[in-house]
A = this chain, B = another copy of it.
């Protein structure tokens, strides 16, 4: 069976995709199966601003942050993630020669799960409140059969949120954890989570404090702050789901995928306490 990689590239500010897309085209030409998952947060923020609806974020009592997603935000989110970013990536990959298929998690029910119907959030003054109408949730099931159908036919899926809730509405989900669930469902050989940071840092202000080979999950959990928390959770979920190797690394440079595969970043592999 050909090697299968799930590669997630973040949608944060300053992330250039050209180098990674060119590497993906090379991998696919060489016979590797690739599922690409992408974000679009920076494009969504810019579009929201231009439309006069600046984005707002929710912070949970444990310190996770997520986009406050009402119906209008979801539509803006879909325009940025599924429209501009997804189709831009598909166009670039096809231009290179990869037979890419851009899909959101709602298409064919690729990603399904539960919407959070009561989110505890902490406001600026430290008070906890409950938000009930947020269109946010978690991917719990992946239609691996549909993705295999595409891969078996030589197509390269390019996936992005939203996902479909069990009650039948589109919902924003964390793309790192969706990528992890996808890697686990497909039995991927490797999961790469690439973004605009070099990996998990012991000190978020010091890019030299990178945790390289992970020997203790406790250590990376404690070190992970902000958006990195979801990447570490995703890495753990992928490992638990049977993925042999996860790398949290950088999307920058001339060969971010080769770099991550050769160990640049925070590597989860083998026996970890």
Contacts and interface: CB of A to CB of B under 8 A. Distances in A.
Interface of A: 47, 50-52, 75, 78-84, 86-88, 90-91, 94-95, 99-104, 106-109, 146, 149, 153, 155, 162, 164, 168-170
Nearest to A91: B170
Contact of A153 (B75, B87, B90, B149): B149
Contacts of A51: 50-51
Nearest to A92: B168
Given A47-B79, A78-B83, A86-B82, A99 B91 contact: no
A75 B82 contact: no
Number of copies: 2
Contacts of A104: 87, 90, 102
Contacts of A80: 79, 83
A47 B48 CA distance: 12
Q: Which of A86, A106, A162 has the most CB of B within 10 A?
A: A106
A164 B104 CA distance: 19
Contacts of A90: 104, 106-107
A35 to B, nearest CB: 14
A101 B95 contact: no
Given A75-B84, A84-B79, A103 B94 contact: no
Given A80-B83, A83-B80, A91 B109 contact: no
Q: Which of A75, A79, A83 has the most CB of B within 10 A?
A: A83
B94 A106 contact: yes
Contacts of A79: 47, 79-80, 83-84
Contacts of A108: 99-101, 155
